[in-house]
């Protein structure tokens, strides 16, 4: 063969590039590819632990101001928190919309869309915190306190606390935003670490500013707000640094401008606002339910039993269930983004089974050892104990339904159906329990057991409606998208 027409093998070899090692996926692909039980649990347990630690920190705050300042300080923090909670729940709905988008885009491995969504949520949160919440909250605080309390001493303690909380809400909003974004992208451990650091820092600073230390004077009730504001501010600034530097699974996009993108912001509110309205409706329903408890012949005993049994002990069920709700939302949303609706369906069912196991375990203690649980809180009054035992035994069954309801709520919200949980909550958590109490009070004598059974009826209704709505499968066709590049 003529050498002039022979192929130059060495030259061809040089032109063929060596196959490069596949790059590591930015997002945890086990959520859309691995065992579902492990994926759900990996996201759920850090959130559960964070909720428990945060709840304990809140209890410690009340213990500190109660012993160092007095019971009016407890009342001041309580009513201030209730006011702030209504506002923050509504504003945080923005982050629910963000979580829907982030989970869907992370499941589809669309990194640019994830980061652009996160930045627009951050941009909006900063504007709301600095431009609206701080000035409006500062000047509206006295009028809000007049609406919820008539005690001059309580309002005097609450006013500086509430004003500081409103003005320096920036850090808390950034923490909520980054935690939701990270969990939706499959990283639940980083929010847990941030939450633990923030809680420990908050506790240390609150001790310093409430009672004073060295050159720092004792600020009393206001010190609790100062400590919390500094702790959340530090964590918020650190989160901004990590998102800017690209050290996390979510971050800020580069080269696309730093102004508002109204298309993305509209999507955030489209999916988020129903959740905010839902939170406000449930808070209003809770306040009205408290008014029924206050109207009972044994109102003081019933209120004490409700505070310990429902607000404290039953929170063990809700803390774990809320963690599973977030896990169901993230895993279902990511799998729907990966075009695996059947796997999304199975993920929510898996989370519901976890919820049943946990609430069933706690329910055994509620039903068989109620007096021992109440004794931990120092409850010795005969009437309060009797009503508390009654309530805990009802809650032993109620927990089964609310844990399942919350996981399916997470499944609906995570896949983009945020309106159905709104309607379901209004029916089940407001209309039914309050309607039952109103009817009994109008045509008979309202007893504590009637209220407890009304709460159970609401939880059963929420469970049935949430499961039924999810099984309809309309969430499978919900479109979630933003333009590929910034407009």
* pLDDT tens digits for range 445-464: 999 999 999 999 999 999 99
Would you kindly state where each structural domain of the chain is located, as residue ranges? 33-260, 272-477
Q: What is the pLDDT of residue 182?
A: 94
Q: What is the pLDDT of residue 293?
A: 85
Mean of pLDDT over the chain: 86
Which range has the worst mean pLDDT, 80-94, 149-163, 232-246? 80-94
Q: Each residue of 336-370: b (16+ CB within 10 Å) or e?
A: bbbebbebbbbbbbbbbebbbebbeebbeebeeeb
- Angle at which helices 189-211 and 170-184 cross, to 10°: 160
Q: What is the pLDDT of residue 11?
A: 40
- Please state, for a pLDDT cut of 70, what percent of the chain lies above it: 89
**Residues 145, 83 contacting (CB under 8 angstroms):** yes
Q: Is the pLDDT of residue 440 over 90?
A: yes
Written in H, E and C, the secondary structure of 109-124 is CCHHHHHHHHHHHHHH
**Residues 31, 186 contacting (CB under 8 angstroms):** yes
**Residues 180, 213 contacting (CB under 8 angstroms):** no
In order of 64, 113, 157, 318, 399, the CA distances from 252 in angstroms are 39, 10, 40, 33, 40
Cα separation, 302 vs 306, in Å, equals: 6
Q: Specify the 3-state DSSP secondary structure of 307.
A: helix
pLDDT tens digits for 27-71? 778 898 889 899 999 999 998 887 777 766 666 666 677 677 766
> What value does the CA radius of gyration of the chain take, rounded to a whole number of Å?
25
Q: Is the pLDDT of residue 7 over 50?
A: no
β partners of residue 213:
216
Q: Is the pLDDT of residue 479 over 60?
A: yes
| Conformation bin of residue 110: beta by default, left when phi > 0, alpha when psi is -120 to 50 | beta
Q: Is the pLDDT of residue 328 over 50?
A: yes
- Please state, for a pLDDT cut of 90, what percent of the chain lies above it: 53
Band (8; pLDDT cuts 50, 70, 90): very low
pLDDT tens digits for 115-128? 999 999 999 989 99
CA torsion sign, 435 to 440 to 445 to 447?
Answer: negative
Q: Specify the 3-state DSSP secondary structure of 213.
A: strand
Band (4; pLDDT cuts 50, 70, 90): very low
Cα separation, 45 vs 369, in Å, equals: 26
Q: Is the pLDDT of residue 19 over 60?
A: no
| Conformation bin of residue 378: beta by default, left when phi > 0, alpha when psi is -120 to 50 | left
Number of Cβ atoms within 10 Å of the Cβ of 128:
16
Q: Is the pLDDT of residue 349 over 60?
A: yes
Q: Specify the 3-state DSSP secondary structure of 216.
A: strand
Q: What is the pLDDT of residue 87?
A: 79
Q: Is the pLDDT of residue 358 over 60?
A: yes
Q: Specify the 3-state DSSP secondary structure of 482.
A: coil
461-465: long-range contacts, CB 8 A cutoff, minimum separation 24: 461/427, 461/428, 461/432, 462/401, 462/402, 462/405, 462/424, 462/425, 462/428, 462/429, 463/401, 463/402, 463/404, 463/405, 463/408, 465/424, 465/427, 465/428
Cα separation, 382 vs 380, in Å, equals: 6
């Amino acid at each position: 063969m003529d050498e002039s027409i022979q192929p130059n093998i060495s030259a061809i070899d040089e032109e063929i590039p060596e196959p490069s090692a596949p790059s590591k996926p930015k997002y945890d692909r086990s959520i859309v590819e691995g065992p579902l039980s492990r994926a759900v649990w990996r996201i759920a347990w850090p959130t559960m632990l964070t909720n428990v630690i945060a709840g304990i920190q809140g209890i410690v705050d009340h213990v500190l101001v109660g012993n160092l300042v007095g019971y009016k300080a407890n009342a001041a923090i309580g009513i201030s928190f209730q006011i702030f909670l209504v506002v923050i729940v509504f504003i945080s709905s923005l982050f629910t919309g963000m979580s829907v988008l982030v989970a869907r885009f992370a499941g589809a491995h669309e990194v640019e869309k994830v980061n652009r969504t996160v930045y627009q949520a951050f941009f909006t949160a900063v504007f709301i915190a600095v431009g609206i919440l701080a000035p409006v909250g500062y000047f509206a605080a006295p009028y809000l306190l007049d609406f919820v309390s008539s005690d001059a001493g309580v309002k005097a303690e609450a006013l500086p606390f509430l004003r500081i909380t409103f003005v320096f809400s920036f850090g808390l909003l950034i923490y909520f935003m980054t935690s939701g974004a990270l969990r939706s992208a499959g990283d639940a451990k980083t929010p847990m670490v941030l939450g633990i650091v923030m809680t420990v820092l908050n506790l240390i600073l609150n001790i310093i500013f409430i009672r004073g230390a060295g050159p720092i004077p004792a600020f009393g009730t206001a010190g609790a707000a100062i400590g919390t504001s500094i702790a959340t501010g530090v964590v918020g600034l650190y989160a901004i640094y990590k998102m800017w530097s690209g050290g996390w699974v979510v971050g800020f996009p580069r080269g696309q401008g730093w102004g508002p993108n109204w298309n993305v912001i509209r999507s955030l509110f489209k999916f988020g606002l129903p959740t905010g309205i839902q939170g406000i409706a449930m808070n209003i329903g809770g306040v009205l339910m408290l008014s029924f408890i206050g109207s009972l012949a044994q109102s003081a005993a019933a209120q004490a039993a409700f505070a310990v049994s429902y607000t404290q002990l039953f929170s063990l069920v809700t803390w774990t269930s809320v963690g599973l709700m977030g896990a169901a939302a993230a895993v279902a949303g990511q799998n729907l983004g990966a075009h695996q609706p059947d796997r999304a369906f199975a993920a929510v069912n898996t989370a519901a089974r976890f919820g049943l196991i946990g609430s069933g375990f706690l329910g055994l203690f509620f039903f068989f050892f109620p007096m021992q649980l109440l004794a931990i809180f120092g409850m010795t009054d005969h009437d309060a104990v009797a009503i508390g035992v009654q309530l805990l035994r009802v809650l032993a069954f109620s927990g089964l339904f609310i844990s399942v309801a919350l996981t399916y709520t997470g499944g609906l919200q995570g896949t983009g159906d945020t309106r159905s949980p709104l309607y379901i909550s209004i029916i089940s958590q407001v209309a039914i329990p309050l309607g039952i109490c109103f009817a009994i009070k109008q045509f008979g004598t309202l007893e504590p057991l009637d209220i407890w059974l009304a709460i159970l009826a609401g939880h059963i209704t929420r469970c049935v409606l949430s499961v039924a709505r999810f099984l309809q499968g309309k969430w499978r066709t919900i479109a979630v998208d933003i333009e590929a590049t910034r407009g």
